[in-house]
Amino acid sequence: MTNKFNYFLDLPEDIQNLIYRFAFNNTLKELVNTNNKSLYDFYDIQRKSKLCYCITNADDIYLHRKYYTLHDPKLLQIKYIEFPTTYFTKKFKYIKRVLEDFAFIIYNDNCDYRQNVKLQRINSGIYNVQYKNNSFRIFIDKNKLLCKVDLEKAIFLGYELLYYSLKLISILKLNPKDDFEDINGLHEWFAKHRYLDGYVITNYFVNVELGS
């Protein structure tokens, strides 16, 4: 299988800006360059993600560009994005340690092939993962989320980080004391609940609603 690389983000910033303007027919002049780039990143991430959403092509994102890139001050105070689940682990403390340790390794992966994914996570503000009871928290750097597209990009990347961490832990058999196969149970739950039904912003966190 041939690996496909995305070389767009390796281009100089001034060249990227010219491409953005050409692609959107000069209609994004009122938006700051960072929001333009976030819009492109969001489309690229969403198109490849396991998580499904109503926007499926660049034309839809183009039509809603002002809504997605409008500056929203209340997002600046967001501390974490929460993914509640209905799956309860039997050995919670053990699963918590295994998952949080492995997610940290995945997040800091230095493989050249995945450098673009790592950069996207860093730019999204994601810096930590916490498993608490039957919920996962993806922590975001303060003042990193400027607009709706930034928030939804972080939601998609957070889901991907959880999904693939759980999958790889199972494949690599890094959970030898998981007597009840909780890692598999959690991974199957995320694989089944891969539709973004919505989210609710409450003070300093965002509660994500996943459907099947």
User: 104-142, pLDDT tens digit by residue?
Assistant: 777 665 555 555 555 555 567 888 899 998 999 999 988
pLDDT reported for residue 200: 94
Q: What average pLDDT does range 52-76 have in this prediction?
A: 73
Q: How far is residue 71's CA from residue 41's CA, in Å, rounded to a whole number?
A: 17
pLDDT at 65: 74
List C-alpha distances in Å: 44 to 41, 49, 131, 134, 153.
5, 9, 28, 30, 10
pLDDT score of 143 more than 60: yes
pLDDT digits (tens, 9 = 90+) for 74-110: 898 899 999 999 999 999 999 999 999 888 777 665 5
Ranges of each domain in the chain? 8-69, 73-211
**What does pTM read for this prediction?**
0.77
Query: Residue 198 above 50 pLDDT?
Result: yes
pLDDT, the chain, mean: 79
Residue type present at position 2: T
Question: Which parts of the chain are beta strand (E)?
Answer: 80-84, 126-132, 135-140, 195-202, 205-211
Distance of alpha carbon 10 from the chain centroid: 21
Among residues 81, 61, 65, which one has the least CA distance to residue 144?
Answer: 81
- The percentage of the chain sitting over the pLDDT mark of 70, rounded to a whole number, equals 70
What distances in angstroms separate CA 40 from CA 54, 116, 153, 155, 206, one per listed residue? 17, 13, 10, 16, 23
b/e map of 46-70 (b: 16 or more CB within 10 Å)? beebebebebeeeeebbeebeebbe
